[in-house]
């Protein structure tokens, strides 16, 4: 499968090549004494389609950033509700907000349109229903200043409900450096509101691929973009909760079947793009993708795709297949006996510090061995990437 460039992608590449940044021509691999100063502009890109329900608190979380040198670009992606008028009302109170209305083209296309108009050295993407910790941008730029070779930075997330209350903390462990294998295996970013990227590199990589949605398997464009970054550049991880990732019926992540198909396709695509990955790792990456897909097919009540995926998983990893099946049967029993237990909402997202109440991921002995092998693999891949860049 080969990704196709969208017209929006072509537009912003042209825009970048015909625009020069005054006083900031240094390579991203050079010292930030030239390019990454405390006055660097960060562009916040918010794609919004019929987002009237949550767009105002999302905007306020961007406006409350301690990094004041921001421009906030809202791309109204063909909304038919009050999204535009609500953004315009907030923009009257803060000139950093700009809004652009375009025909509905999907989230990837909207992000690319925002990227084409961005003027900052850094770009950060924020979904129209998510929240940010006030120090998110400041902490991420600091991380890139400390690691000038890194292309992007990300942190952890808290899952929140419709009232901004924390439901659960992300427990995945992140990693800095060249981490392609780690990202293929664990998907540590986990959402579209976490990454802050050097704009030059975001443009160089072609932005987001809108062809996924055109093929009916949208939902993993964030993951595809993330993998394009880590396949070529190191990345910086911040061990703090910086994003409030909203879960509710009707948002994109609630379309479990589409997310399942998109994840499998994305993993296969990037395994094909990186033929140097060894067979043992390709097998493990496919296994965790199948486990994720089977769980989501069951959540979507797609029994046929669930059973097909489970049968694909069974001969390659009996332990994971058993785990998926046991979880599915337990959920069926709870549903039939009306003993479904939903997580109890906790504190409000903005009431907790970014490093408060951390949930630590504790891998099994088997997983620890796998993580050590993956770490060694990423070190080997890093050497190869550096040699290619020196050639």
Q: Per-10-residue mean pLDDT for the chain, 391 residues long?
A: 36 32 32 49 97 97 97 98 98 97 95 98 98 98 97 96 92 89 95 97 96 83 96 96 89 75 95 96 96 93 94 93 92 69 75 79 85 96 89 74
Instruction: Report the pLDDT value the prediction gives residue 8, as an integer from 0 to 100.
Output: 38
The reply to whether 290 falls in a domain is: no
Q: Are 213 and 108 in contact (CB under 8 A)?
A: yes
Residues 6+ apart with CB under 8 A from 267: 184, 285, 286, 289
By residue range, what is the domain housing residue 99?
A: 7-253
Instruction: Report the pLDDT value the prediction gives residue 342, as an integer from 0 to 100.
Output: 56
The reply to whether 121 falls in a domain is: yes
3-state secondary structure of 342: coil
The reply to whether 357 falls in a domain is: no
| E strand intervals along the chain | 42-48, 70-77, 97-102, 122-125, 131-132, 152-160, 166-169, 196-198, 235-246
> What is the Cα 222 distance to its own chain's centre?
5
Instruction: Report the pLDDT value the prediction gives residue 235, as an integer from 0 to 100.
Output: 98
- Give the CATH number of the domain where residue 28 resides: 3.90.550.10
3-state secondary structure of 99: strand
The reply to whether 145 falls in a domain is: yes
The reply to whether 235 falls in a domain is: yes
Q: Are 156 and 271 in contact (CB under 8 A)?
A: no
Instruction: Report the pLDDT value the prediction gives residue 15, as an integer from 0 to 100.
Output: 31
Specify the number of domains making up the chain.
Answer: 1
Task: Tell me 128's DSSP state.
Answer: T
The reply to whether 182 falls in a domain is: yes
């Amino acid at each position: 499968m080969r990704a196709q460039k969208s017209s929006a992608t072509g537009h912003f590449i042209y825009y970048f090549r015909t625009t020069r940044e005054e006083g900031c021509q240094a390579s991203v691999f050079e010292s930030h004494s030239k390019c990454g100063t405390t006055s660097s502009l960060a562009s916040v890109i918010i794609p919004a389609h019929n987002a009237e329900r949550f767009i105002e608190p999302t905007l306020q979380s961007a406006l409350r950033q301690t990094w004041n040198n921001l421009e906030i670009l809202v791309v109204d992606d063909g909304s038919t509700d009050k999204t535009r008028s609500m953004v315009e009302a907030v923009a009257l109170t803060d000139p950093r907000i700009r809004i652009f209305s375009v025909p509905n083209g999907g989230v990837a296309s909207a992000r690319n349109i925002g990227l084409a108009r961005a003027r900052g050295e850094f770009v950060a993407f924020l979904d129209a229903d998510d929240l940010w910790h006030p120090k998110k941008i400041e902490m991420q730029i600091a991380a890139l200043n400390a690691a000038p070779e890194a292309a992007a930075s990300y942190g952890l997330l808290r899952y929140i409900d419709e009232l901004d209350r924390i439901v659960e903390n992300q427990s995945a462990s992140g990693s800095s450096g060249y981490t392609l294998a780690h990202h293929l295996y664990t998907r540590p970013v986990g959402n579209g509101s976490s990454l802050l990227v050097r704009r030059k590199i975001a443009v160089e990589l072609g932005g987001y691929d809108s062809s996924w949605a055109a093929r009916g398997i949208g939902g993993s464009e964030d993951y595809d973009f993330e993998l394009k970054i880590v396949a070529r550049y190191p990345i910086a991880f911040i061990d703090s909760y910086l994003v409030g990732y909203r879960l509710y019926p009707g948002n994109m992540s609630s379309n479990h079947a589409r997310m399942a198909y998109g994840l499998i396709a994305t993993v296969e695509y990037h395994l094909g793009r990186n033929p140097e990955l060894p067979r043992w790792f390709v097998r493990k990456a496919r296994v965790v993708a199948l486990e994720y897909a089977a769980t989501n097919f069951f959540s979507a009540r797609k029994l046929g795709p669930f059973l097909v995926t489970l049968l694909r998983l069974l001969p390659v990893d009996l332990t994971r297949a058993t785990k998926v099946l046991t979880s599915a049967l337990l959920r069926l029993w709870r549903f039939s006996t009306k003993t479904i237990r939903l997580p109890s909402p906790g504190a409000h997202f903005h009431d907790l510090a970014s490093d408060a109440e951390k949930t630590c991921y504790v891998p099994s002995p088997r997983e620890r061995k796998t993580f050590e092998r993956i770490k060694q693999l990423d070190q080997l891949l890093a050497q190869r990437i550096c040699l290619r860049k020196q050639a």
